[in-house]
Structure 1
Amino acid sequence: MRLIEIDEYERETMQLAKPIHDQYHRVLLNQGATIHDKYLTTLKELGIRYLFVEDAISHDITMDEMFDMPTWMDAVKIVHQTFNQVKKEEKLNLIALQELAGQLIIEVQRRKILALIPSTTMAKDLLLYTHSVNVAILSLEIGRQMGYNNIQLRDLILGALLHDIGKVLIEEVKEHPKAGFQFLRHIHELNLMCAHVSYQHHERWNGKGYPREIRGMQIIPYAQIVSIANFYEKAISRGNKPHLVMETIMALSDTVFAPEIISAFIRSVPPYPPGTTVHLMSGEEVVVTGIRNLMQRPIVRKGNMQEISLEDEPTILIDGGKECDKETLLRLL
């Protein structure tokens, strides 16, 4: 199994390795199916950018590092229901959210290295909810690297899951952090830090964010973590390569993001996730099959099915590719 962009799909050589779902969480195409050109166009119109496929070069790649798909789908459904409850002014099912936080902690802690399921493997109408779940997973990984205990991780997850709740309360984009804060601060069952995560996740370390232009340690650590996770998830869901987005994040150290949080982020997230395709400096295209110890030096498989651990081959280098457009990415902040 491997992850490809939808434009890379080849009907003659590939079949789906994971089901495709629509905005109602219904299965559109099941595992093992091939995609007709007509359906491929429909999937693109739905906003689906990535597919999990099985082909000759990805045979027996298990992607064990990837977050558990059923758990992820359940998380998306719970977040979707929560946001709808807010929109309809119904009482929130906080027990479901708290139980979800516990499930995410268990799922992440049982893996040495964790690879995300891209939010754009689902229909674009679910993007707000898939994004929120992925931001929570990334935040959890960063918090774990920073030595947070389970109580701290739970509050961090809840803040991350609800960081964009203001978007269902108000249409003005730059007002959604404040709207989310005003709503969450009145839910006494939630730690007040969750409300401040919503309020502060678009602030910048140098004071040039919004809505209040606070800076440095005025921004609570939970919000600093969610800020990086939010930026990274948005960037990769739009087709940017993970390692290039990470380079951009490192370049924004001490201006947009806190250096300490960046350091934890770099230790948390693999720049070359298993199941993805990269190019070597020789020009050869290879598939990442796993990670042994060093996330920057994965195990790769060549077209002739030969597997190489880049840890053992210091002269074989990955081509970094074209840099991300920094100005375009900054608009995601």
Structure 2
Amino acid sequence: MITKVLQLNHVREGMKVAKSIYGPHGEILLAAGVSLNSFYIKRLEEMEVAAIYIEDEATEGIVINDVISEKTRIEAIKLTKECMNNIKLQSSVDVAKVNQVITDIVDELLSNNNIIVQVLEIRALNDHTFSHSVNVAVLSVITGIALGFDYKKLKDLALGALFHDIGKTLMPESILFKTEPLTQKEEEIWKKHPLLGFDILRKLPTINLTNAHIALEHHERYDGKGFPRGLSGNVISELARVVTVCNQYDKMTTYQIGQPRMKPFQAIEVLIGNSGKFFDADIVRAFLGIIAIFPIGSKVTLNIGVKGIVIEAYKNYPTRPKVRVLTDKNGEKIFPPYDIDLTDMPEICIIKVEEEG
């Protein structure tokens, strides 16, 4: 059973973890099913984990499944860390291992005919680079599937997306992990990471220029106002245009130091508002089809005054999930709760997504 996301300052001893919590390198900090105590809560605070899923009787029987297996996700995070560290040390990269992980990701996603992304990945904030890279790769492949890419194109997309930020391995940590705004000089240095990434990837064996151009162009803008080369429109490689959308969405919807997390519907509004400017409008449309606007576990208010939790989301009806009603118009708990499927009741809609916690 899984309920809403709770911010860590709302978590109490005795609550049970509903979804595994990951460390910065893919390791499990706390597994699903563990009861929280003061030591665990303090440790999560130290690791800068901002929020977690907690089990709750009101949502008994609801399960949120990730789009790839926990094993594949952890292996991909570990591999990303290993490759980036090897680049820092000017050591070799195990290309065969990279290809295996890429194949696993693509194959798992292709085996799911009705993918809809609704899992908020809970991870430590003190180094989110590796898990961010995996998230972007997964989102990119799912978008590529929606766009009808063939198998080879999906693997090229996955590889380039996984290493789109590899140029950051050559960036000073004082810039990468700075919480205050960058100075003009620091920003100029930071903006070099796509060029550095391109240079790294094009020199690796069996990595083709298609993969390398994803790293080079993932900060280009559709209107030509991006960097490093100011490319515009379809001059930017199609795979890079996909990664640009997925990269921005993951950054907006993930807890980061000094930056509040947007809810999916808020991030989607940003993508739609910038279609044709920052982003390719056709790719944004494809992306919207794979994202749950109201993910399972979201606390919502309906236009009839009642409040509840989203318990099921539908790929073809992103604004019409199934909601378990928990409180009446006066805020009194309803027992037993009842479910409303918004696809069957067009007169009812979600008017507000409640704060987490």
TM exceeding 0.5: yes
Q: After TM superposition, give the deviation of residue 47 of structure 1 in Å.
A: 2.3
Aligned 8 A contact 2:86 2:92 in 1: yes
**Partner AA of 1:75 in structure 2:** A
SS at match of 1:249: helix
Q: Secondary structure at the match of 1:307?
A: strand
**Pick aligned residue for 1:223 from 230, 233, 240:** 240
The worse-fitting range, judged by mean Cα deviation, of 97-106 and 159-168 is: 97-106
The separation in 2 between residues aligned to 1:318 and 1:268, in whole angstroms, is: 20
Secondary structure of residue in 2 paired with 1:60? coil
Deviations 1:38-75 (A, max 9, x none): 54344233221231221112211012365432321222
Correspondence for 1:189 among 206, 227, 234: 206
| Matches for 1:137-156 after TM superposition, within 5 Å | 137-156=138-157
3-state SS of paired residue (1:300): strand
Per the alignment, residue 262 of structure 1 pairs with 284
**CA gap 1:19/1:263 in 2 versus in 1, 3 angstroms:** closer
Q: Aligned to 1:206, which of 214, 218, 223?
A: 223
* Deviations 1:161-212, CA, capped at 9 Å, x for gaps: 0000000022332111110011111224012111111011011111111111
CA contact (8 A) 1:67 1:117 kept: no
Query: For the Cα contact (< 8 Å) 2:66–2:119, is it kept in 1?
Result: no
The CA deviation at 1:4 is 0.5
Q: CA shift at 1:275, angstroms?
A: 3.0
Q: Once the 2 structures are TM-superposed, how far is the Cα of residue 306 of structure 1 from its aligned partner?
A: 1.2
8 Å contact kept, 2:294–2:319: yes
**Paired position in structure 2 for 1:133:** 134
Q: How far did residue 229 of structure 1 move?
A: 0.2
Aligned to 1:6: 7
- Cα contact 1:13–1:56 (8 A) shared by 2: no
Per-residue deviation, residues 207-236 of structure 1 (Å, max 9, x unmatched): 111111111111111010000000000000
Secondary structure, aligned partner of 2:310:
strand
SS in 1 for 2:72: helix
Distance in structure 1 (CA, Å) of the matches to 2:128 and 2:23? 11
* Cα distance change of structure 1 residues 224 and 24 upon mapping to structure 2, 3 Å threshold: closer
Which whole-Å CA distance do the structure 2 matches of 1:64 and 1:182 have between them?
Answer: 37
Could you tell me how far apart the structure 1 residues matched to 2:105 and 2:283 are?
Answer: 20
Question: How far did residue 263 of structure 1 move?
Answer: 1.1
Displacement, 1:37? Answer: 4.6
Render the CA deviation track for 1:256-284: whole Å, top value 9, x for unaligned: 11111111111122212223333323454
SS at match of 1:256: coil
SS of aligned partner of 1:295: strand
Aligned pair 1:313/2:330, yes or no? no
State the TM-score, normalized to the length of structure 2: 0.83
What letter is aligned with 2:346? P
User: d(CA) in 2 for partners of 1:300 and 1:8?
Assistant: 26
Count of aligned residue pairs for this structure pair: 321
Q: Which amino acid in structure 2 is aligned with residue 132 of structure 1?
A: S
The residue type equivalent to 2:254 in the other structure is: S
Is the Cα–Cα contact under 8 Å of residues 64 and 119 in structure 2 kept in the other structure? Answer: no
1:73-152 to 2 correspondences below 5 Å? 73-111=74-112, 112-115=114-117, 117-119=119-121, 121-152=122-153
Tell me the alpha carbon deviations over residues 101-120 of structure 1, each in whole angstroms, 9 at most, x when there is no partner: 1111122123312325435x
Unpaired segments of 5 or more residues in structure 1?
Answer: 323-333
RMSD, aligned α-carbons:
2.2
Q: Does 1:289 align with 2:289?
A: no
Relative to structure 1, the CA distance from residue 281 to residue 47 in structure 2 (aligned partners, 3 Å threshold; closer, same or farther) is: farther
Aligned twin of 2:275 = 253
Aligned to 1:328: none
Whether the 8 Å contact between 1:291 and 1:298 is mirrored in structure 2 is: yes
**CA separation of 1:75/1:202 partners in 2, compared to 1, >3 Å: closer, same or farther?**
same
Shift of 1:321: 5.3
State the SS of the aligned residue for 1:90.
coil
Structure 2 residue runs of 5 or longer lacking an equivalent are 173-188, 256-260, 327-333
Amino acid at match of 1:81: E
Structure 2 counterparts to residues 49-60 of structure 1, below 5 A: 49-60=50-61
Distance (Å, rounded) in 2 between the aligned partners of 1:223 and 1:97: 19
Q: Which amino acid aligns with 1:267?
A: G
Structure 1 residues 199 and 5: CA distance shift in structure 2, 3 A:
farther
Inter-partner Cα distance in structure 2 for 1:116 and 1:191? 32
Residues in 2 aligned to 1:7 and 1:282: alpha-carbon distance in whole angstroms: 31
Preserved CA contact (<8 Å) 2:299 2:353: no
2:298 to 273, 276, 279: 276
User: How far off is 1:308 after superposition?
Assistant: 1.5
Q: Any conservation in 1 of the 2:223–2:276 contact (CA below 8 Å)?
A: yes
Report the Cα distance in structure 2 between the residues aligned to 1:275 and 1:104, rounded to whole angstroms. 25
Distance 2:345 2:144 in 1: 32
Is the contact made by 1:67 and 1:116 (CA closer than 8 Å) also made in structure 2?
no
Question: TM-score, structure 1 length as denominator?
Answer: 0.89
* Structure 2 residue aligned with 1:68: 69
